[in-house]
Amino acid sequence: MPDLRVATFNLYHFAAPGIFWHERKANATYTPEQWAAKLAWISGMLAKMNADVVGFQEVVSDEALRVLTQAAGYPYFFKAARAIFDPDDPEVYVNATVAIASRLPFTTVNDLAGVAGIPADTVIDQSFGFSRVPVEAVVQVPGIGEVMVYVCHLKSQGAFVDPDEIDAIGDWADKVKRYYALRAMAGVDQVAKRAAEAAALYRTFRRTIDVDPDAAVILLGDMNEDPESHTLGILTQGERVFSWGSVAGDAIPEEFAHLKHVFKLYDAWNLVPNQQNTRPVTHVSASHSSVLDYVILSNGLNPKNPRRHGTVSKVEVFDAHLFDDSVRGVVSDHAPVVATITGPAV
């Protein structure tokens, strides 16, 4: 059977000329020439990636993306919610959304509703919701069967401090003290929200896995955290279990040992043997590079699961543009990640 190729692709401010990101500045919008170059680059990248299903982040001009992806051979498209614009300046967007494009028809596709009870069971406030609403889609894949796909973009890093509040303070001693105090609390807020989003996605996976332990479920996303972060640990539950109550972690009865794997999620990069020794970064800024973009899988696609519906056999990072300062600021500061899933042998 043909392989299934899935990708996550942060488009970096996919906003048509005349739309500004975050504030009205000359370098916070595209010229028509830059926009044309960006569209051409995305089309070319989609051809190189050759993915069957693509999850996109930082989508603002969703109709332009629909037109582009359909021309690239993706007849099925859905975007979550709507981008949010500044109420005082409707040409400035303050939060983008996510979208999905597919060569395969959707059995179902919709916004991911709810946060799986997270506020009730944690210290998170009852008003908590995803910073960007994820997509939830189901596709039927020949040879593999039903595959559930989520697309997400977790809360951004960085603690925002309102500049107007700081500017209003005349005394520099008070200004500095107030800034640090506000940034500390804003830092708590952004870390807590991102962790809660990760937990909500884990619980969402569990809704399916609890019914079918070998279900094929995939998350395509910009997690805004590195692979060793506690946030990724919350999402995957990959951290070591030291004890099951009073029973040591390695003393689980043999007949239940497989459940240790069933209820975890997996970073696709770690499931493929013979990968590069050094993991390629997926995001580069002026002073920092990191891994932020992932394909996360259920145990139903784990090569070590004898009951799997498919096997993740390859992970690719399309990162050449990240090291070209002349284009990165227009095309994208993220690298697409593509995972190949092969159906079980017949």
- CB 261: neighbour CB atoms within 10 A? 13
Q: How far apart are CA 64 and CA 68, in angstroms?
A: 6
**End-to-end CA, the chain:** 9
Please answer whether residues 49 and 5 qualify as being in contact, where contact means their C-beta atoms are separated by less than 8 angstroms: yes
Name all domains of the chain by residue range, CATH numbers in brackets.
4-342 (3.60.10.10)
Q: How far apart are CA 120 and CA 118, in angstroms?
A: 6
φ and ψ of 92, to 5 deg: -110, 120
Q: How far apart are CA 51 and CA 73, in angstroms?
A: 10
Altogether, the residues listed in the chain come to a count of 346
The tokens for 238 are: 């990959």
Give residue 69's pLDDT: 98
For strands 145-153 and 216-222, give the pairing: parallel
Q: How far apart are CA 26 and CA 291, in angstroms?
A: 29
Q: How far apart are CA 129 and CA 119, in angstroms?
A: 9
DSSP notation for 214-282: T-EEEEEEE-SS-TTSHHHHHHH--SPP-EETTEEGGG--GGGTTHHHHT--EEHHHHSTT--SSPPPS
pLDDT in tens, 13-51: 999 999 999 989 999 999 999 999 999 999 999 999 999
Read off the amino acid at residue 115: V
pLDDT in tens, the chain (346 residues): 579 999 999 999 999 999 999 989 999 999 999 999 999 999 999 999 999 999 999 999 999 999 999 999 999 999 998 899 999 999 999 999 999 999 999 999 999 877 767 777 777 777 788 999 999 999 999 989 999 999 999 998 887 888 889 999 999 999 999 999 999 988 888 899 999 999 999 999 999 999 999 999 999 999 999 999 999 999 999 999 999 999 999 999 999 989 999 999 999 999 987 666 789 999 998 778 999 999 999 999 999 989 999 999 999 999 999 988 778 779 999 999 999 999 875 4
Give residue 276's pLDDT: 61
Q: How far apart are CA 34 and CA 301, in angstroms?
A: 40
What is the phi-psi region of residue 58: left when phi exceeds 0, alpha when psi lies from -120 to 50, beta otherwise?
left
Give residue 327's pLDDT: 83
Give residue 346's pLDDT: 42
